[in-house]
Amino acid sequence: MLLATFSPAARSKSFVIMTVFLLSCAGQAAAAADDVPAAVHEAQQQRIATIEKAAQAAVAIFAGEAGGGSGVLISPDGYALTNFHVVQPAGVSMKCGLADGRLYDAVLVGLDPTGDVALVKLVGRDDFPFVELTDSDLVEVGDFCFAAGNPFLLATDFRPSISAGIVSGIHRYQFPADTILEYADCLQVDAAINPGNSGGGLFDARGRLIGVNGRASFEKRGRVNVGVGYAISANQLRNFLGFLKGGRLVDHATLGATATTAEDGGVVVADILESSDAYRRGLRYDDEIVSLAGRSVRTVNALKNILGTLPAGWQVPLVFRRAGRRTEILVRLAGVHRQAELAAIVAGENPAGRRQTPSPPGEKPAGKEAEPPERPSAPLPEALRGLYELRPGFTNHHFNVVERDRVAKAIATRADWNSRRGTWTLSGSLAAGEPFRITLSDTKGTIDLPTGTTAVDATGDLDANPSPPGSGGMLAALLVWRRLLMAGPQPLGRTAYWGTVPLDPAELGEFGSPVLVDVLESAVSGVEARCAVAPNGDVTGIDLWTAPDADPCEVRFRAPDAAGVLPVGMPRTIEVRHGNELFGTFTIEEAVLEPTVAAAAGETS
């Protein structure tokens, strides 16, 4: 506008001067670019390539008129993580676009409403681009990070938007904002996180998945980025992934106790349920909690952070201090909600029966009741037929069967148990050197100990006789173990895939989290049993309850025989615990597994 007040000659002269100035700047910029070290150019190209590779795994999720969000592929067969609040309006099926420009059908697999996590499965190929979860506990404040997603549903060509920044906080705890969505131990970033970014991946400088974006502190500025976004950590996601793949409706853990800060700064028990496992293990009012699940507890928020990353039902180490004395126990964590409450939450109903729609993360609720989104009444797309089964207690029971059968196949291929359906006789010595003898068959279980001989009728209800005395049901557990090995989970009883648990709660694996093994849950002959199975098909443990409120008999099968003395798959040691007590450690020196009558006849003919 100022140039318009000058004479034509002056304007022409000014234009020439400006042109010369701009050309001079461009020349200086080109010269400066030539002076940039080759290493800087190489680092830039590497960053571009890393982001491009991660972008291939980004998913643009569309829920029709209900909106949409983002996701991230974590396996070549199409499993993708996203947020619960993204998929809830979509229902069972949704459309998902990838950076290749193609649109894929996807089906809901598992839900974690409290943690705001969902697992979906894209179909149409078995070589999807994907990224792997890394150890989010190694992330530090100041680390470079970038988000890939679909903010404001801008990715009409399905290519994700990329926003970069740094990690501005770690181990953040975000209270539920008038919803059940609890963000515990999350990563705080200044990379732009806007509506639509929810469910997308957060990556480190090497393109590894360190979290899933889902929440931001919008406050009074409206639903736009203010530089404070939050991501669910990769380590928390890994803890729950087994449950989600099993089509479960997942719950988070509670200790059954509340904590407060003491005058000296310690975290002490303020209240505790006498029905909780923590109480049965010895935790009491005013005890100082030192650590949980291998992580130090220095504040009440730290305790909430740890619990928020753990699934209900896990057994984890807890260290507490009383009168200066340090004690370590293993605690089985309870669930925050009942299954009926979780189902009501997913349906948009609160436990009191009123209907409400959760507020989007970071946005305050409207303060009025609303009808929840209806599940689509239209049939599933052809590509998803047969991939969904509705059953109480599950998000999608079809995938529970898939995981159960996968574990069954691993057990069956580990050893030829099916041809060993005769009597099993295990003999050896106890820790003090005394001999033992265990006999297991289709009709009876017997154990000979220095204290005497006890037996269990294998054809009746196993909860009627938790023998030998003091074990909580060792013989019943071993009979369930034998049935599982010989026949698999289907004939065992009402058996489902439960999820994953730590192989050894006291040890951490590669990613700062426990090494996880699969668990099958069975209701058989009057008892409840959870059987842990390693990836190679070895059964590593059985927890068996003869009554719902009783301490289980905990059987651990350790040190598979490597010398070839015992049959393939037979453990060298069986450790049995009940409550806080070690019932016994049984070292197997000889195992005779008789074949079935038909197999024996075939051997002699």
Residues with a known catalytic role: 85, 116, 198
Per-residue exposure over 74-93, b if at least 16 CB sit within 10 Å of its own CB, e if not: bbeebbbbbbbbbbbbbbbb
Structure tokens, 106: 């996807």
Question: Cα–Cα distances in Å, from 464 out to 47, 314, 456, 526, 527?
Answer: 64, 27, 9, 8, 9
**Which residues lie across from 95 on neighbouring strands?**
62, 105
Question: Cα–Cα distances in Å, from 186 out to 139, 164, 308, 448?
Answer: 11, 18, 10, 53
Contact, 72 vs 58, CB < 8 A?
A: yes
Please tell me whether residue 560 adopts helix, strand or coil conformation.
Answer: strand
Structure tokens, 56: 């291939």
DSSP letter, residue 413: H
Please tell me whether residue 433 adopts helix, strand or coil conformation.
Answer: coil
Task: Tell me the C-alpha distance between 75 and 79, whole Å.
Answer: 6
* Angle at which helices 234-245 and 397-414 cross, to 10°: 90
Contact, 461 vs 477, CB < 8 A?
A: no
Vertex 449 angle, CA 445 and 455, to 5°: 25
CB count within 10 Å of CB 310 equals 21
Kindly compute the dihedral angle of the four CA atoms of residues 328, 185, 168, 41, in this order, to the nearest 10 degrees.
90
Contact, 472 vs 551, CB < 8 A?
A: yes
Q: Which residue has the tokens 């040691």?
A: 573
Kindly compute the dihedral angle of the four CA atoms of residues 292, 293, 298, 303, in this order, to the nearest 10 degrees.
-70
